[in-house]
Amino acid sequence: MRKLIAFDDDTLDRLKQLGRDRKSTLQELADEAFADLLKKHNIPADLRDALRKSVNLDRAPSRASARQKSGKAKS
């Protein structure tokens, strides 16, 4: 899917230079930036990440239940 994103001239020049320095395309830079943004906000970037996050949530005990279990063991 194609979407149009506008950059001011200075930002576009800097992105082009970064792409040249890293031997990357503007699309590769954008993909990396958006993936980092999603990761920062704990949003899975793809199905694999979503499934991995789902499994980890099912396995991890909640803090409240962990405290209850540790409290019962001490009594």
pLDDT in tens, the chain (75 residues): 889 999 999 999 999 999 999 999 999 999 999 999 998 998 888 888 888 888 887 787 766 665 666 665 554
Question: Would you state the pLDDT for residue 74?
Answer: 53
> Rg of the chain's alpha carbons, rounded to an integer?
21
Question: Would you state the pLDDT for residue 68?
Answer: 64
Q: Yes or no: say if 53 and 44 are a contact pair by the CB < 8 Å rule.
A: yes
Question: Would you state the pLDDT for residue 51?
Answer: 84
Task: List the structure tokens of 55.
Answer: 């499994």
Rounded-to-integer distance, Cα 54 and Cα 52, Å: 5
| Nearest to 40, CA basis, from 28, 48, 32, 52 | 32
Question: Would you state the pLDDT for residue 9?
Answer: 97
Collapsing DSSP to helix, strand or coil, 71 comes out as: helix
